[in-house]
Structure 1
Amino acid sequence: MDLTILYRGPLASCDYDCPYCPFAKRRDSREQLLADRAALERFTAWVAAQSGDRISVLFTPWGEGLVRSWYRRSIVELAGLPHVRRVAIQTNLSGRTRWLAEAPEAARERIALWCTYHPGQTPYERFLGRCAELRDLGVRHSVGVVGFDAHLGEARRLRAALPEEVYLWVNAAEGHTYTDEEAERWTEIDPLFPYSRHPHRSAGLPCRTGESVISVDGEGTVRRCHFVRAELGNLYDGSYRRALGPRACPLAVCDCHIGYVHLETLPLYDVFAGGVLERVPAALPLSTVAPTRSRGD
C-alpha cells in the first residue's frame, strides 16, 4: 500500500512572534515536550515497522519542530528506511541546517523542507543563507511567504535573490479578499497563487484523503485530514485500515494547501508531481499561470 501521512503531534511551541499566528511565542512545558517526544518516537518506530508499505510523511507541527532534536533525528532515521519515499516538514528555518549533513546522501535525497519566510521575525540574510545551505546539501525545498501587503517588497526581494529553480510560493492571508490588482502582484511572484487566492468548493467532491492520504495525531488517532474531525480509527492498533477508501469531502470549502492539494478535481498532483509534500512543482521555473478562479466556481 502507498500511504501519505500528515503527522501533527502535541508540539505547539514556536520561537517566532508572528501577529497572525495563535502559537506565536508559545512555550510548551517540560512535560508537554516529553510527551511530544514520546509520541514522535512511537510514530517513527511504527513507520519503521511497516516495511511492506510505501510511506511518505509530512510533519505539520503547530510549533517549530526543527529546533527540537527529536524531530531532526526522526527525519534522518525515516529517510534512511528503504520503504519511505519522502519525509518532509514545514519549518520557519530558524534552526541550523548543518544537521542534515549527518544523513547519508541517499537518505538526504528523500528529505524535503517546506520553508516559510516571516519578515520581521528573522534577518533576511540569515534566512537566505540557510536556503543556500540547503541547496549545497542537495536537500529539496520550497520557500514561501504569507501574502500580506506589508510582505510584498520582501517577497519580491526574496524571489529575485533565489535561483529560479527554487519555487517561491505565496499563501493567501487567512480571511483576506484580494482585488484583481492585488492578486496580479502576487501572481507575478508565484504563478500558482490563484490556487491559493480563493477557497475551493469541496463538498461532495472526490479527495484522496481518507484513501491514500491520512492525518495522524500524537495519540495515533487517524482522520482523513487535519480539517475533518471524524475519526477513521487508530494507527497503532491497525483499525484505521478498514476505513480506508474513496470518499467525498464533507466540508463546504477547502482553503489550505495541505488540504486542497489532494482534491481530485484539481490538477495539483500533476503540477507538483514528485513534490506534493514539499510543495515543489514538477517544472521549474514555472511557465504557466493557474486559473484565476477555483475549480467548480
Structure 2
Amino acid sequence: MDLTILYRGPLASCDYDCPYCPFAKRRDSRAQLTADRSALERFAGWASEQTGDRLSLLFTPWGEGLVRSWYRRALAELSRLPHVRRVAIQTNLSGRTQWLDEADPDTIALWCTFHPGQTPYDRFLAKCRDLAERGIRHSVGVVGLPEHLEQARRLRDDLPDHVYLWVNAAEGHTYTDAEAARWTALDPLFPYSRHPHRSAGLPCRTGESVVSVDGEGTVRRCHFVREELGNLYDGSYRAALRPRACPLAVCDCHIGYVHLETLPLYDVFAGGVLERIPAAPPPGRTPLRLLTPASS
C-alpha cells in the first residue's frame, strides 16, 4: 500500500511567538515534552516496521519540532529506510542543521517558513543556503502580510534559483486584486492560497491514500475533519480506507486542499507534494500560466 501520513503529536511549544500564527502557543512542561517524545518514538517505531507498505511522512507539529532531539533523530532514521519514499517536516529553521549529515538527502525534505520579526533575515538566509549546499530538498515561504512584502522580495532575490518561494494567504486577510498581483509575482501559485476552496461533496484523497495521525495513534482523514477512522497501532484504520467526499464546506489550508482531486496540485507538485516543491521550473522565475485555479 502507498500511504501518506501527516503526523501531529502533542508538541505545542515553539521558540517563536508570531502574532498571525493560528496555532495555539504555550510552553510545554517537562512532562508534556516527555509525552511528546514517547508518542513520536512510538510512531517512528511503527513506521519502521511497515516494510510491506510504501510510506510518505509529513510532520506538522503545532510547535517547532527540529529544536527537539527526538524529531531530528526520528527524521534522520526514517529517511534511511527503503520503504519510506519521503519524510518531511514543517519548520521555522531556527535549529541547527548538522543533524542532516545523518539523513538520506534523497528522502528527507524541509518545508521552511520565514517569520520576519522573529529571526534576523541574514541568519535565516544563511540556513537556507546551508540546506542548498547540503543538497537537502526544501521549499521556503512567508505569510502574505503587507509588512512582509519587501522582505519576501528580498528573499526571492537572494535564494538559489532552484528553491521555490511560496506565499500563504494570511488568515482573515482579504486581498485586493492589486495586492494579490504583487504576491503572485513572487509565487505564481499564490492564487491557490488566496481564496478557500469549495470542497463539500468533492472527491479528496484524504481518507483513502492520505491520513492524519495524532500522538495517541488516532487516525483521521485529515487534520480538519474530526471523524475517527480507527487507530494506527491496532490496524483498525485500514478497513476504513476508501474513496470519500469532503464533508466540509471549504478547505483553506495547503496541507488539506493539495489533496483535493478537483485541483491539479498533484501534477503541479509531482514528486514534492509533502515538501511543497513544484515539479515545474521554479515559480517566480518561469511563469506558470496554465496553473491558475478556477474560482471556487
Deviation at 1:283, TM superposition (A): 1.3
Letter in 2 for 1:137: R
Taking the aligned partners of 2:129 and 2:294, their CA distance within structure 1 comes to 34
* Amino acid corresponding to residue 232 of structure 1 in structure 2: L
The answer to whether structure 1 residue 152 and structure 2 residue 149 are counterparts is: yes
- The number of equivalent residue pairs is 292
Q: Does 1:275 align with 2:272?
A: yes
> What SS does the corresponding residue of 1:165 show, helix, strand or coil?
coil
**Cα offset, 1:165, TM superposition:** 1.1
Structure 2: runs of 5 or more not aligned? none
Residue identity matched to 1:164? D
Write the deviation string for residues 166-212 of structure 1: whole angstroms up to 9, x where unpaired. 00000000011100000000000000000000000000000000000
Tell me what 1:291 maps to. Answer: 292
2:221 alignment partner, one of 212, 220, 224: 224
How much does 1:102 deviate? 2.3
In the alignment, structure 1 segments of 5+ residues that lack a partner are none
Shift in alpha-carbon separation, 1:94–1:243, aligned structure 2, 3 A: same
Comparing 283-292 with 256-265, greater Cα deviation is found at 283-292
Do structure 1's residue 62 and structure 2's residue 62 form an aligned pair?
Answer: yes
* Partner amino acid, structure 1, of 2:46: W
1:235 equivalent among 203, 222, 232: 232
Aligned to 1:185: 182
How far is 1:164 from its partner?
A: 1.8
TM-score, structure 1 normalization: 0.96
Is the 1:8–1:218 Cα contact (8 Å) retained in structure 2?
yes
Q: CA deviation at 1:17?
A: 1.4
1:255 equivalent in structure 2: 252
Q: Show the counterpart of 1:96.
A: 96
Report the CA distance shift for 1:45/1:133 in structure 2 as closer, same or farther (over 3 A): same
Equivalent in the alignment of 1:264: 261
Q: Moved runs in structure 1, 4+ residues, more than 4 A?
A: 22-25
User: Equivalents in 2 of 1:77, 1:163: separation in Å?
Assistant: 28
- Report % sequence identity: 79
Secondary structure of the corresponding residue to residue 237 of structure 2:
helix
CA–CA separation in structure 1 for the residues paired with 2:178 and 2:23 = 32
Q: State the alpha-carbon separation in 1 of the partners of residues 62 and 46 from structure 2.
A: 22
| Residue 73 (structure 2) aligns with | 73
3-state SS in 2 of match to 1:17: coil
Residue identity opposite 1:197 in structure 2:
R
How far residue 21 of structure 1 moved from its aligned partner, in angstroms, is 2.2
Secondary structure in structure 1 of the residue aligned to 2:270: coil
In 2: Cα distance, 1:247 partner to 1:238 partner: 19
Look up the equivalent residue of 2:121 and give its one-letter code. Answer: Y
Q: Report if the CA contact (8 A) 2:204-2:245 is conserved.
A: yes
Residue 284 of structure 1, CA deviation: 2.0
**AA paired with 2:232?**
L
State the Cα distance separating 1:23 from its structure 2 match.
4.8
> 2:74, 2:102 → 1: CA distance?
12
1:194 matched to which residue of 2? 191
| SS in structure 2 at match of 1:109 | coil
Q: What is the identity, as a one-letter code, of the residue corresponding to 1:102?
A: E
Answer whether contact 1:169 1:193 (CA < 8 A) is retained. yes
Q: Which amino acid aligns with 1:206?
A: P
Aligned to 2:6: 6
Distance 1:60 1:262 in 2: 16
Paired with 2:138 and 2:145, the residues of 1 have a C-alpha distance of 22
Deviation at 1:26, TM superposition (A): 2.3
* TM-score between the two structures when normalised by the length of structure 2: 0.97
Aligned to 1:115: 112
The one of 205, 210, 213 equivalent to 2:210 is 213
Letter in 2 for 1:53: D
Contact conserved, 1:198 with 1:293, CA < 8 A, in 2?
A: no
Q: 1:25 to 1:250 in 2, by over 3 A?
A: closer
Alpha-carbon distance in 2 for matches of 1:182, 1:242: 46
**CA 1:221–1:207 in structure 2 vs 1: closer, same or farther (change >3 Å)?**
same
Q: Name 1:161's counterpart in structure 2.
A: 158
